[in-house]
Amino acid sequence: MTLRIALFGQAEFGRDVLERLQEQHRVVGVYTPPAGARPDPLAEAATARGIPLFRHKRFRRKRGEGFEAVPEILEEYADLAAELNVLAYVTAILPAEIVDAPPRGSLCFHPSLLPRFRGGAALAWQIILGERESGVTVFRPDAGVDTGPIVVQKGGVAIEDTDTAGSLYFGKLYPLGVDAVVEAVAAVADGSARYRPQDEARASFQGLVGDAEARLDWSRPAPELDRRIRGCDPQPGAWCERDGERLRLYGARLVPGEGDAPPGTVLASDRGGLRLAARGGRLLVGRLRVGGGPKLPAADAGLRPGERLA
């Protein structure tokens, strides 16, 4: 059965979902965030295909002590007569008046094995907290945060000791997630979808990862620092300080060896990378961002052996 679908999303993931869904269904409207400094691949794809494109930063507005759906957006959405909403990489909060409106409801993609790692920074926290297996989930959203019943779940994705949030997503979960969304839509379309409640006994929720969470604490063991750097790579970038200036670290891994140098001490800086002392091990860092500058090879940052980062 062909469905009329309203697609909410952004970036390459949203674009690839759009292309796959159009093979079997009619996408009647696409919602992406407002235009930014760089073109959005989903917005470009919708425009190229002649699909109505709507760009909103927020779908709700403040009213009294709470929020209400923006009436103009609700009217715009209602005109689409969508039978199903698909949320593919959505960062805005959608009001219930949109989520619950279609006769087939809504489907939402999440990059973890729900109910584990609910929240908007699931990729980062899986690495920071040392999770060994990942996967993707497509669920029917409800009033909670990533709490709705599961339609499709695909696991068995190993998180390696070298994975960053970027490599975990783009190299492993991204293609699996596109397949999962398409599979879930097909199940809804042919009536075979089964909605499995999440096991609250296994649930975990982690908040967003900002600068407070990305701060490196050199009193922590080397493996923890390694995971935090990789979990914050590429965004927001784990950081420490050198003479009051912020340094963001990328492309890190643990390397063999211990020594007597205090944690945070620069052991070497050459074309092989930046080697830092840590509690119980050493870190090799490939790239740095100094202050608000661009990412550059660690050897080009001017750090000298013996310096200690705070």
- Statement to judge: residues 235 and 297 lie in one domain: yes
Q: What tokens were used for 95?
A: 């009001």
Q: Is residue 309 part of a domain?
A: no
E strand residue ranges, the chain: 4-9, 26-32, 53-55, 60-63, 66-69, 84-88, 106-110, 133-139, 150-158, 238-242, 245-255, 266-270, 273-278, 281-290, 295-297
One pLDDT digit (tens) per residue for the chain, 310 residues: 899 999 999 999 999 999 999 999 999 999 999 988 899 999 999 999 999 999 999 999 888 888 898 999 999 999 999 999 999 999 899 999 999 999 999 999 999 999 999 999 999 999 999 999 999 999 999 999 999 999 999 999 999 999 999 999 999 999 999 999 999 999 999 999 999 999 999 999 999 999 999 999 999 999 999 999 999 999 999 999 999 999 999 999 999 877 789 999 999 998 889 999 999 999 999 999 999 899 999 889 889 999 999 9
Note whether residue 29 is domain-resident.
Answer: yes
Domain shared by 194 and 157, yes or no: yes
Same domain, 105 and 243: no
Domain around 293: 211-301
Q: Tell me the pTM.
A: 0.94
**What burial class does residue 18 get, using C-beta atoms within 10 Å of its C-beta: 0-12 exposed, 13-18 middle, 19+ buried?**
buried
**Do 11 and 107 belong together in one domain?**
yes
9 lies in the same domain as 114: yes
Q: Are residues 116 and 264 in the same domain?
A: no
265 in the same domain as 190: no
Please identify, among 146, 171, 202, the residue that sits at the C-terminal boundary of a domain: 202
Q: How many domains does the chain have?
A: 2
| Domain containing residue 44: CATH number | 3.40.50.170
Residues in the chain: 310
How is 186-239 classified by DSSP, letter by letter? HHHHHT----BPP-GGG--B-----HHHHB--TTSBHHHHHHHHHHTTTTT-EE
